[in-house]
Structures are given as structure tokens and as C-alpha cells.
Amino acid sequence: MKVVPAALLAFLLGSTCMATASAAAPLQGTVLETIDAAQYTYLRLTTPGGEVWAAVTHADVKKGAQVTIQDPMVMTNFESKTLNRKFDKIVFGTLGGTGAAVPSGMPMPPPGMGAAAPHPAAATPDVAVVKVPRAAGPDGHTVAELYAQRAKLKDKPVAVQGAVVKFLPSIMGKNWVHLRDGTGTASDGSNDLVVTTMQTARTGDVITVRGTVRTDIDLGMGYSYKVIVENASLQK
């Protein structure tokens, strides 16, 4: 998997926590406890400054191991939905020697994804989105309809037509597209649809995507989406 900037991954997934403004020196400690959750491993460490929780991408780390967390970023009031647990303070970073990146900065997520520290990457896409017609055929829906009818459409194939406002390649083995068609509202995030695909697209393109609706997707570490269209094919 291609490693991407941590802030970009965080922006894509969204979060419900706050991060400090800058990274600190590498954190070193001894592993007291490990918890594997989804794609991540949580580590309880003893350090010269006391016990600290840290999180890295999934790694085989044993109790008693000496580890180094590169590019650490402290986050407060972090809630992991996968673990059903809230951490008053936790450190995110890269496990030294593995090359596995995790979110080391938490920028502003897309609408409806919770509050986090602001970041320029999360600015409103510089793409003029006009009203785009609904995709043709019985499976055609608008972006707003997918949100409104997500329970009914769960796990069903759909077609959606819209303008690409963001294209983020090679993250978690997929390409991620943010699609808007002029329907929905920014206040609840129902104007922006996330699509995963193996194909590529350009910002500003008007495309039709065909894929499967997934709802209430929890990617771990507090990252969740109400609606995603997965494994989509793209057509201009």
C-alpha cells in the first residue's frame, strides 16, 4: 500500500478528536499492553514521563518490547468507536522501523463528521458544483437520496451522477472520490458522497458511478461514515 501524508488520510476519514498543533520528538517506551482493533494496534507504554497510550497501524508488537513512536502527535478526548472507549490523551504516530503511517494530525473533517482542529486541506473544494441530473435507470439516485434512503438502499447497487470535488489516490489500497450533484446540504453532510474505486478521476469531471451502498461504516479510531458507495465503476 502506498503511504500517503497522515493529514490527508485523516481528512479523508474524518474524526471526533482534537490534536495538538505540531509533532514532538520521537516517543520511546516499553509495551505494557496491546489491543488490536480493525487496522490499528493500541499500545499502553511506560515511558520516563509515565504511562502513555499510543496507536499505530496494525503491528505485531509483544508485551515487554521496546518501541519508538516516530512523529508523535498528542490527541485529547479521543473516542474509539471500535473499542467503545474514550482516551483522555493518546499519541498517534509511526512505529519506528515499520514504515507504517497513521494519522499524526487531525484536520477539519468533511461536513457531518464531527469537530477537529482546522487544517487548510479541509477547505471547501474549489469546484463549482451545479445541479447535475440524476443517473439514468432504475438504480439512479441523487446524493441526497442516498443519505435519506440509506436504510432501504443498504448493500444494494446504485448509480449516482455528480461532479468530482476531490480525488485521493492509493489510500488503504483504493482510490477515494468525493462526489457532489447539487443536492443535499452542507450542514449535515448530505451534499457530499464518498466513493471507493480502483479507477481514477479528475477534479471537476462529471461522472457516473455504479457501486454498492454501505452504511454506518466504522473504520476504527473514531472514523465513520453514514454512507459510502464501494467498489464503484466510473464513467464519464
Domains observed in the chain? 6-120 (2.40.50), 124-235 (2.40.50.140)
pLDDT tens-place string over residues 100-152: 333 333 332 332 233 232 222 333 355 667 799 999 999 999 999 999 999 99
pLDDT of 93 strictly over 90: no
pLDDT tens-place string over residues 23-48: 457 888 899 999 998 778 999 998 87
**Any idea what the Cα angle at residue 140 is, between residues 135 and 143, rounded to 5°?**
80
Helix (H) or strand (E) holding 143: helix 143-148
Mean pLDDT of 200-210: 94
Q: Which of 90-104, 119-133, 147-161, 210-224 has the highest mean pLDDT?
A: 147-161
- In the structure, what pLDDT confidence band is assigned to residue 172 with cuts at 50, 70 and 90? low
Between residues 190 and 11, the one the model is more confident about: 190
Distance of CA 189 to the CA centre of its chain: 14
Is the Cα torsion angle 218, 220, 222, 223 positive or negative in sign?
negative
- In the structure, what pLDDT confidence band is assigned to residue 74 with cuts at 50, 70 and 90? confident
Going by C-alpha positions, the residue among 152, 203, 155 that lies closest to residue 177 is: 203
Q: How far is the CA of 23 from the CAs of 43, 90, 104, 231, in angstroms?
A: 18, 13, 8, 35
Q: How high is the pLDDT of residue 122?
A: 33
pTM over 0.85: no
Q: Are strands 40-47 and 18-19 parallel, antiparallel or unpaired?
A: unpaired
For the ranges 5-19, 43-57, 179-193, 218-232, which has the lowest average pLDDT?
Answer: 5-19
Going by C-alpha positions, the residue among 84, 81, 86, 85 that lies closest to residue 18 is: 86
